[in-house]
Amino acid sequence: MAVLNCMHLTELASVHTELQSYPELSSTLPDGYEYHLCSFSPLEGGFDATVRVALQDEEGATEWLADYQEHSRVTLRVKATKPESGRVNLFKVYYRCHHNTIPRSEKADLRPKSKNTNCPAQLTITVKRNPGKRSQAKVRDPHLPLFATIVHIKHIHNHQIACPDAFKFRDVSKDVIAKFTELYSKGYSPSSALNTHKLDLQLEHENDYLYVSADRAQCPDLQFCHRLYKKMFDKAYGAASGEKMIQDLGASIESYNEEQGLECCKMDQVNGKMVIAVCTPLMRRIHSNHRCSGELVFVDASAGIEKYDCRLFMILTHSVAGGLPLGCLITTSESREAIVAALKLYKQLIPDDGFYGRGDQGPVVFLTDDSDGERQGLQEVFPNSSTILCVFHLLQATWRFLWEGKNSICEEDRPHLLDLVKGMVYADTAEHLEENYDRMNRDAIVKKYSCFLKYAKHLYNRRQLWAVCFRRDLPLGENNVTNYMYVEAAMRILKDQIFRRVRAYNPVQLLDFVLTRLVSYYERSLCDLANGRIDVTISKRYLPGKGRITAEMVNELQFPLFEVQSESEPEKKYQVDMSVAMCTCTAGLNGAPCKHQYAVVEFRKVQSFTFPPIHDEIMRRRLLFLATGQETGDIRRHEDRGNSTQEFRLEDLEAGLHSMAATLTDQMREYPEELAPAVRAFITQFKNLKTHSATVSALMAFGKQHEVAQSFRSSTARRSQKRGSDQGATNHCRSKKQAMSSYW
């Protein structure tokens, strides 16, 4: 056995040369440090060595240990620590190989994947205290103060070090942990983050991926990913359940409301069921300023987006941008009791002019899926609203019934039975619906299945909820289903883009995503539409084109009524009412976008929320207001041509209003018989405008009525004749028009 005794530093010609004489030792030591070899003893299966390192504190020693484990592929665990011993040591720790797990029972070693081998390898690190100028201390330890750290290595591992079986137990590196933390913060799940990391490793290392993926330091196992995920989100979102989670929720809600300066979120508990209602500033703006919010509202629930199976109810209305959110409900149950409690909280959050001025009455129509809890809850909280069923969900439920094994319906009969139900659903009159139901009862195939007869009878008894023929007078805009552009699309957006198909860690994170990511998504969508960036799906549905209709085929009857000539039948004409976005054609009968309405918008430059505002600057600003809350007077319009900028200031608008009032007062004094009754009616109507949205609508429509415009022109002409100046009347009309246009 050869032993190298420690020599005085001055006797060593080269420390590097000395270490190279012992490759089994030097190959394990990390580069970038100054070493002094004190002793070396070869042992069976390894060696025993003592090395001095030029490190003076605990931080440096800890950093060296991390580099040593990375370089030597050895993983160490703390075996024992020694406290500071005053004048001698700053730091002293004993380490063992992690393949010596010190098991608590004999059964632990019997597991197939046990890493315990009772490995005898050890390592000790001691950082000596600098003795200062005490000469006696210098004599005792000539390595001080430069080589203050002593490393004693007993490298006698009873297992292989550089092999896949050993690599799979290594500690995950700090760089990999940082990468996974970043992926989790972006919405990745443990499994999706691990798959992404493996793909990155495969692209980076190519042929060496086989070896890299076996090293747990570079490619962690799924269990570690889950533990890191839980540790990260425990810190960010608190407890996953229990009373602590309820407290964290309350604190989060209070913080958000304080930040917004409004009560946008409320929470309550009903018989152990937690309910949360949300109406953010974006949702409040849509409530007050988007007409469709008072007509048709979609409600649907989604489960499975949070680990403890909370239900998220989306409340939306339709628009050219797809579904727009009016609110969200989060409950721990889909029971009627929980839904009613959540809706009552939600009712307290909506603005006074919510549902486009209808307020507590709610919208005209709620469209839901076939959920008794949803429908009954809506009817209790909003009794003045009609509640109808989504046709898509009804037919989907029928299809599931036909395919259910216990009903024993032959496969070849299922399409025929579904067609019979469709015939009732889409019957154009109540009489036709009854005829189709009678025909169904007499059908030979139907008579084979008593269970289907019973099912069909139950459907028929609820026909008022789902039959299209009973919806003719409702403002549905041809929206008999929720799956096309609105609720189902919103749910897909919620799961794919907001949660990225990853369940929320707990209700606190679920609420946080609703208040941040969900709102941000709709803000971006509205801004894109305001900037003229139109999605292909929206383009196909909301830009039907004007076909072969020309400007001469569109006639204004009395604003907002127009008449559009048919393309194929010149003698046939369609009536279009732009105030309610309806047309007498088949598509536009219930307010759906049609080519006749689009022709009016295109040729008569009428504003409409039914179509994307490609060329309508005013409507684009209104969309921008819904997205950002910026008032019109604060918006600057940038035009590409010449890069000119037009700024709208409140001072200019106030001056324009005063000028208009003065002009109207002069006219009334000059022609009191004509204008006094009109002014009185105007004042009365203005006092009756109770909401902000109603005022906006009235101002938007001012000057567009045919009779009002004609009266204004005639009175102006008479006044100009009395003054003897036709040019004066022209200038006055032009200034009036400019004053109105400057407002928008």
**194 domain-assigned:** yes
**529 domain-assigned:** no
Do 626 and 554 have their domain in common? yes
Say if residue 665's pLDDT is above 80.
yes
Say if residue 93's pLDDT is above 80.
yes
**314 domain-assigned:** yes
If you average pLDDT over each of 17-26, 251-260, 589-598, which comes out highest?
251-260
Query: Which of residues 647, 676, 703 is at a domain's end?
Result: 647
Cα dihedral 598, 600, 605, 607 sign = negative
Say if residue 547's pLDDT is above 60.
yes
Do 14 and 34 have their domain in common? yes
Do 147 and 95 have their domain in common? yes
**527 domain-assigned:** no
What residue numbers bound the domain in which 119 lies?
9-163
Exposure on the CB side of residue 93, measured as CA atoms within 13 A = 12
Query: Which of residues 647, 672, 693 is at a domain's end?
Result: 647
* Number of domains within the chain: 6
Do 385 and 396 have their domain in common? no
Query: Which of residues 217, 237, 257 is at a domain's end?
Result: 237
* Residue range 633-650, pLDDT digits in tens: 443 333 333 343 334 456
- Which pTM was predicted? 0.54
* Residue range 362-391, pLDDT digits in tens: 999 898 887 888 888 999 999 999 888 878
Do 13 and 152 have their domain in common? yes
Residue entry with tokens 């154009």: 428
Do 408 and 418 have their domain in common? yes
* Residue range 383-398, pLDDT digits in tens: 999 888 878 778 878 8
- Select from 494, 687, 253, 396 the least CA-distant residue to 503: 494
Do 204 and 127 have their domain in common? no
**1 domain-assigned:** no
**536 domain-assigned:** no
pLDDT (0 to 100) of residue 245: 77
* Residue range 398-447, pLDDT digits in tens: 888 888 888 889 988 888 998 899 899 888 888 999 999 999 999 999 99
If you average pLDDT over each of 21-30, 103-112, 316-325, which comes out highest?
21-30
pLDDT (0 to 100) of residue 151: 94
Tell me the CATH number at 279.
3.30.420
Do 445 and 457 have their domain in common? yes
In Å, what is the CA distance from 306 to each residue of 194, 428, 502, 506? 20, 42, 8, 6
Do 601 and 503 have their domain in common? no
Integer Cα distance of 603 and 180 in angstroms: 56
Do 454 and 432 have their domain in common? yes
Integer Cα distance of 450 and 476 in angstroms: 35
**478 domain-assigned:** no
The overall average pLDDT reported for the chain is 77
Distance of CA 408 to the CA centre of its chain: 42
Do 13 and 105 have their domain in common? yes
Section 92-102 average pLDDT: 89
Strand partners, 350: none
Do 381 and 414 have their domain in common? no
- Select from 199, 201, 189 the least CA-distant residue to 228: 189
**615 domain-assigned:** yes
The amino acid at residue 634 is D
State the angle between helix axes of 391-403 and 414-425 in degrees (0 to 180), rounded to the nearest 10: 160
Say if residue 150's pLDDT is above 60.
yes
pLDDT (0 to 100) of residue 13: 37
pLDDT (0 to 100) of residue 4: 45
